[in-house]
Amino acid sequence: MSDAQMKPGTWARDIAMALGTYVPGFARPPARFVSERGQPVHGIVGEFATPAAVYHAAEKVRDAGFKRWDVYSPFPIHGMEEAMGFRRTFLPLLVAAIGFSGAGLGLLFQYWVSAAAYPLVVQGKPYGAWEPFVPIMFELGVLPSAFAALFGMLMLNGLPRFHHPLLARERFLSVSDDTFFLCIEAEDAGFDADRIRSLLEGAGARSIELVEDDA
C-alpha cells in the first residue's frame, strides 16, 4: 500500500499497524513522526497532579477534536467517559450481525441436509420440520455471539499486549500511585506537536514530554 492509502485514522492503517505489532513477519507502516534521535514517535504525554486537573484537561482535548488519545489514572474517575467524549461502541452491532448470521446459517444447513441433500424420516416427523432446528440455531446463534463479543472486544481495545511505549518511561510508573497522565498519540489525524504542547500547557500539565516508540 502506498502512503496515500495509509492516511492516519483509516482502517487500512489501523489493520496494518495491528498486524505489524502482533504478527511476526509483518512490518508496521512507517511512523508518521520521527524524534530527533530518529525513533518513531508514539505521542505526547502530559502529567497532571490531581484527578480534577486531568478531568478538565480531558474535556479540552475532547473539544479540540482529538480522537486517538487516552487518560491514565491509578483509579477510575467518575464521569471520565463523558469528559473524554466516549462514543458508544459498535460492538453490540457486530455481535448481533454475527449472532443472527450464525442462527441463519444453522437453519439453512439443517434445512438443506434434512429436506434436500439427505432426507431421512426421523420418528415419522416431516422432513422440513422446524422444531428440531431450533436448539441448534440457538447454539449457533449464542456461541458465535459470545466469541464475537469477546474477540471483538479484544480487537477493538487492542488487548492483550505485552508492551506499551509509555511503560518504558520511568516517570510514567507513578501512574499506579498518585499521578495522572494524558497522552495524545501520533496516530491521531490532527497530531501537531506545537499545538498539543500549548493545549496541554493551557490545561495545566505539570510536565509535557515526547514519548518515543522504542519497540
Partner 1 sequence: MTQAHAHMGPHQPAISDEAYQERLDRLARHPALGEQFTRVRPGEFASMQHLLLGVGAVGLGLTVVGGFVYDIRHALAAYEIGVLAATAMGLGALFFVMVFHMTNAGWSVTLRRQYENLASMLPICMAMVAVALVIEIVSGGVLLRWIGMDPHSDHLLHHKSGYLNTTFLVIRFAVYAGLWSFLALRLRGWSVEQDTSGDRWLSRRCRFNSGWGLLAFALSTAFFAFDFLMGMDFRFYSTMWGVYYFAGAAFSSLAALAVMFAFLKTRGKLGELVESEHLHDHGKLMFGFTVFWAYIAFGQYFLIWYGNIPEETAYFIFRKTGGWAILGQVLIAVHFFVPFFLLISRVPKRNPKVLGALAFILIAAHVLDMVWIIKPAVGASGELAPMSWWVDVAAVLGVFGVLGFFMLRAASSVALVPMKDPRMEHALEHCNYV
Interacting positions 108-147 with partner 1 (CB under 8 A): 123-124, 131-132, 134-135
Which residue lies nearer to partner 1 by CB, 79 or 202? 79
Which residue lies nearer to partner 1 by CB, 43 or 141? 141
Which residue lies nearer to partner 1 by CB, 132 or 202? 132
How many residues sit in the footprint of partner 1 (CB under 8 A)? 8
Interacting positions 86-105 with partner 1 (CB under 8 A): 96
Phi and psi at residue 67, in whole multiples of 5°?
Answer: -115, -35
Show the cell assigned to 2. 502506498
Shortest spacing between CB 141 and partner 1, in angstroms: 12
Shortest spacing between CB 154 and partner 1, in angstroms: 17
Chain residues binding partner 1 by CB under 8 A are 81, 96, 123-124, 131-132, 134-135
